[in-house]
Amino acid sequence: MSKQDYSSLLETFRFANGTALKNRVVMAPMTNFASNPDGTVSDAELAYYTRRSGGAGMVITACVYVTAGGKGFQGEFGADKDELIPSLRQLAEAIKAQGAKAILQIFHGGRQCPPELLPDGQTVSASAVPAELPNGGRGPVPRALDEAEITAIIADFGSATRRAIEAGFDGVEIHGANGYLLQQFFSPHSNIREDRWGGSLEKRLTFPLAVVEEVNRAVKEHAAPSFLVGYRFSPEEPETPGITMAETLALIDALSSGGRLDYLHVSLQEFWSLPRRGTEDTRPRIEQIVDRVAGRLPVIGVGSLYSAEDALKALDSGVDLIALGRPLLIDPDWVQKVAEDRAAEIDTELDPAAQERLVIPDYLWGALTHTPGWVPIKA
C-alpha cells in the first residue's frame, strides 16, 4: 500500500488553545514498573521513553502519584513533592527532545493501591467498599476519606500540576479511568456516601469535577495558555451496581461543558467494544461517545490497534487522535514506518528475543512475556 493510504494518521493536529501535534498518533500511558524507590525516574525509564518518543505527536507518561497515600504500583514515579521536579524535568526533556509533546498523567489509586506501598498500609476510597477482583474475591477494605482528606487530595492534584509545569511538561492528563480514585467517587459501586461527595449522580461527579477545577486553577496561575489539560475515563463498569453507559454519557456532558478541558481520552482494551447496559444504542461505545461529545472537545481513542490499517479504520470512527500503547511496546518505530511507506513492516507481535532492541525495562519485560494475553507474542 502507498503512503497516501495512511496520510490521515500523519496529519498535524491543533488543539483549541493553539498547541499543535505533528501527527494524530499519541503514545498511551502505560505503567512500566521501572522507577527508583524514591519516586525518581530511572535511567531505564528515560531510555524507554526516548526510544518511543520519536514517532508519536504526543507522549502521555505512565501515571504519577500526587500523594504518597495514592501510590498504585511498584516502581511508579512520583509528583508528590518539589524534590522530584528535577527528575520530572529529565523525563519531559527526554520526550520533547524527540519531537513529541510531553504530557504527565496524574493519579491517585484509591482502593486499588497495594497496602504495602502506602505509608500507613491503609487504602482509602470514597467509601469503605472493597474492589471486586477480576478472578473473584475482593480487595482490601478501604477506609472512607473524610472531608479534610478529600480537600487535601484535590489540592494535591493542583500541586502535582504545578510541578509538571515547572518541570517543562506540555500538559497533564487527569487519570479518571481504570477503577482508580476519581472513578471510585463517580461509581455507584464504590461511592455509597450520603454527603456532598456522593449519593446522586450529580453528587458523585463532585470530586472529579473539583479535581479538574483545581488543576485548571494551577494551570491558570503557573502555565502558559498552550498548556494542555486532558481527562481519561473508562466507559462503564462490569460491577452491579456500577457505572452504566448512560452515566458515562452524563460524565461526558459534565466534562465537555464550560471550557474545563482540552481533550477527553477514552480508556478501552478493545477500540470497537460494545456497551453492556444503560443504552438502547447497540453501536460500539466509541461511536456513542464521539456522538455525545459532538465536537465540543477532541477525543482520543485507544484499544488493540496493532496495524496501520487498524488505526486508520479507528480514525474513521470520528475520534480526533489515536493512542497506541501495546503497539508501541512491540514496535517503537510504528509511526516512522507509516511515514516511510513501510506500514507493512510494522511488527504486530512481540519478539521474545528483542528486549534490548526494544529498550523495555526488566520488570515490564517479565510482565509482558509471562502474562498470557497481555500482548500478542511471536511464536
Domains of the chain: 3-370 (3.20.20.70)
CA distance 199 to 186: 10
Q: What DSSP state is assigned to residue 282?
A: -
Rounded average pLDDT per 10-residue block, the chain, 379 residues: 75 98 98 97 98 98 98 98 98 98 98 98 98 93 98 98 99 98 98 97 98 98 98 95 97 94 98 96 98 98 97 97 98 97 96 98 96 94
Q: How many CB atoms lie within 10 A of CB 273?
A: 15
- Which residues does the annotation mark as catalytic? 180
Q: How many whole angstroms separate alpha carbon 295 and alpha carbon 254?
A: 14
What is the C-alpha to C-alpha distance for residues 74 and 65, in angstroms, rounded to an integer?
12
Q: Tell how far CA 28 is from the center of its chain.
A: 7
Assign 345 to helix, strand or coil: helix
| One-letter identity of residue 146 | D
d(C-alpha 25, C-alpha 10), whole Å: 8
Helix, strand, or coil (residue 290): helix
| Alpha carbon 290 to its chain's center | 18
Distance, in Å, from the CA atom of 378 to the CA atom of 324, rounded to the nearest integer, reads 19
Name the strand (E) or helix (H) holding 150.
Answer: helix 147-166
Distances (CA, A) of 30 to 62, 78, 256: 5, 15, 25
The Cα–Cα gap between 256 and 263 comes to 9
pLDDT of res. 134: 87
Neighbouring CB atoms inside 10 A of 294's CB total 10
2 vs 186: CA distance, rounded Å = 46
Residue 4 has a pLDDT of 53
Residue 150: what pLDDT? 98
Residue pair 13/56 in contact (Cβ under 8 Å)? The answer is no
